[in-house]
Structure 1
């Protein structure tokens, strides 16, 4: 192993163990590796700048902002009200409301943290009051929030589309069926929990209540129709859809619902910028990381070694899924996609895996990683809302993780499961 390869692997690992933020760890390793390799130092700022030069990446800050605007503007509360009148009478009804509302909100914001925060802030206290354990309610809100990487428009699919140079619209469609099946699986866990704990059901909503909820929630329900309809109707690109969703959320929040004021915009923009900065800093510093990996031929060498030692495609996919799950337990999921992207793509090519199918596998792993202990991003959002400790939430989240893993196996070994809606 060359000194550069050692720095990129062992050096990065040591910095991670020391608790250095992911983006800074990548930047430090790349800078030191350039010096060791005797490469022109100016390559670092050039590669960082090059890492930002993608029109598709503009979707990330705008979808983040859209999620914040919709939550502050009252759209998330309207969505919950609509979901409530349709499913609250079922066993585990309030849990079903959480999942359904999160699925709809995910189809607007594209962001797992935003979905977890928007839905969890309302549903965790409500579920706790109705007899659900607070830890279970938090675990459910976290699990429902991570539907966002799968249900389009998905920020995770945007990032992978840029890395793998694949159609983002086609990647979006690959997440629809897995996302809906995962949502259904989460409701089964809610039904089982409510049945086991004898949680009383609520009264079925009257037709008057349903009409009122639909009338009040029409603007919220129109949001995913406009965003997704515009993308698949060819009216605008996914990046332009992110801007449209921001304008729509701003209009509804300020003019229709009148819950947004100009004074609210500054903190809302600041919150979305902080989350965007974390994601984008990982993406841009990883550009230099990718250049060094390419120069050292690490991706093709490892892909070739794996191809020689593992001939069966099914076994290779199993190994990748296990490795991704273990890495996601200790490493940021976006960082895994960006840093290991060249290697993952090389492996997929060596086994002739359809790139859109492979993208669905990667992003399903990302969704699971955002909920999995100990450092799932949405896990910490849920903990912040409920005030519970990691161990309390982690003990209740494993049934949901099990459902997610079943969906991952379907995505991995039944290509049609994610490719059924593909159009070329």
Structure 2
């Protein structure tokens, strides 16, 4: 009982105190080892084991690819190409943000990277065009969360490792929910611009459209290279991440020539900072997960849930509510890794398809990236727009409602997520 208390209440207390999750997990794991009289070397062994997965290499590689492509101007090319198609419509400039983020998500796989790359260009442009700064930031933030849903997705890589499921199948399960959220965001862009009388932008002629797409061809080819290689059986998701980095380097250094060799150290360091945070949580959580399994916390909770909640739909609703509340105060990656065994045990108890369940989890993760008060993308949007958390929060609720509707569709209509399987 004391070990269980240390693992649950101890982690909760450290999280409330604001201790970084990697250190919090390591601390409670070490305390549990002492209480259980287990050799301390166990923690070091599990730390090494948790960082040895081949699939785990995809995370820093996709993050690095996103950083290189942003620095190399690919995000600017995507914005220009998308702008020629929809900027002249009601809400067109905000729609450009959504469409550019949708394409960039298929390059970076990361919500914060997508928000930063597209938001850095589009938030100032939207403000100049007559949109309010809070709304401009909220659209960039909500469009950024397409990153975890559109393949290749870092969140799906992590869940695939945790749940031991096919990463390729998980990638496909995020496409329809991702496009559904994008469609909902486009409607919000139109509604906001019409309600507030935001002026339309001039329509691009065919010559300008052609120039924009010719200039952006290298950026537009990147998702085809990565996803075509994965589903064509040419390489694994991890190898695809390495190819994405190589492609971005070649285009940035030799074709676009916007990156100098001297810039590479800063680009690599930027990617390392982000990926180190994610991979450290995954590594230290391996030992934590073994202790959770040893104490049978996950299976006991799943059994209790199955005994007390007979209806599958109620159990899934409870999981969604719990995940939404946890994501508001806890790191989404930590939730997936730390609570993964418990979530999987519950899904197994109620006979939920593991790929469908993975899609449901990652849609929750995407919402958490934009949900107040600690969504990563919110802070990126705040930094770019210089707006307060409160002002962006007031503006983003319509987008959050759209995401919750898509979450309900994903949860209760398995075919919605599994359509492309």
Q: CA deviation at 1:331?
A: 0.0
- Cα deviation, 1:56-106, whole Å, max 9, x if unaligned, reads 000000000000000000100000000000010111001110000000000
Query: What is the aligned partner in structure 1 of residue 199 from structure 2?
Result: 200
Gaps of at least 5 residues in structure 2 are none
Query: What is the aligned partner in structure 2 of residue 355 from structure 1?
Result: 354
CA distance in 2, matches of 1:105, 1:399: 23
Query: What is the aligned partner in structure 2 of residue 47 from structure 1?
Result: 46
Deviating runs (4+, > 2 A) in structure 1?
A: none
Query: What is the aligned partner in structure 2 of residue 364 from structure 1?
Result: 363
Q: CA deviation at 1:203?
A: 1.7
Query: What is the aligned partner in structure 1 of residue 153 from structure 2?
Result: 154
CA distance in 1, matches of 2:379, 2:28: 27
Query: What is the aligned partner in structure 2 of residue 69 from structure 1?
Result: 68
CA distance in 1, matches of 2:159, 2:370: 19
Query: What is the aligned partner in structure 1 of residue 343 from structure 2?
Result: 344
CA distance in 2, matches of 1:418, 1:19: 35
CA distance in 2, matches of 1:142, 1:383: 9
CA distance in 2, matches of 1:268, 1:139: 26
CA distance in 2, matches of 1:241, 1:368: 26
Query: What is the aligned partner in structure 1 of residue 92 from structure 2?
Result: 93
CA distance in 1, matches of 2:252, 2:52: 32
Query: What is the aligned partner in structure 2 of residue 407 from structure 1?
Result: 406
Query: What is the aligned partner in structure 2 of residue 19 from structure 1?
Result: 18
CA distance in 2, matches of 1:26, 1:83: 43
CA distance in 2, matches of 1:200, 1:295: 62
Q: State yes or no: 1:296 paired with 2:295.
A: yes
Query: What is the aligned partner in structure 1 of residue 56 from structure 2?
Result: 57
Matches within 5 A, 1:313-328: 313-328=312-327
Query: What is the aligned partner in structure 1 of residue 29 from structure 2?
Result: 30
- Structure 2 length as normaliser, TM-score? 0.99
Query: What is the aligned partner in structure 1 of residue 163 from structure 2?
Result: 164
Q: Secondary structure at the match of 1:394?
A: helix
Query: What is the aligned partner in structure 2 of residue 178 from structure 1?
Result: 177
CA distance in 2, matches of 1:114, 1:17: 27
Q: CA deviation at 1:25?
A: 0.6
How many corresponding residue pairs?
A: 421
CA distance in 1, matches of 2:6, 2:192: 48
CA distance in 1, matches of 2:374, 2:233: 38
Query: What is the aligned partner in structure 2 of residue 227 from structure 1?
Result: 226
CA distance in 1, matches of 2:397, 2:45: 43
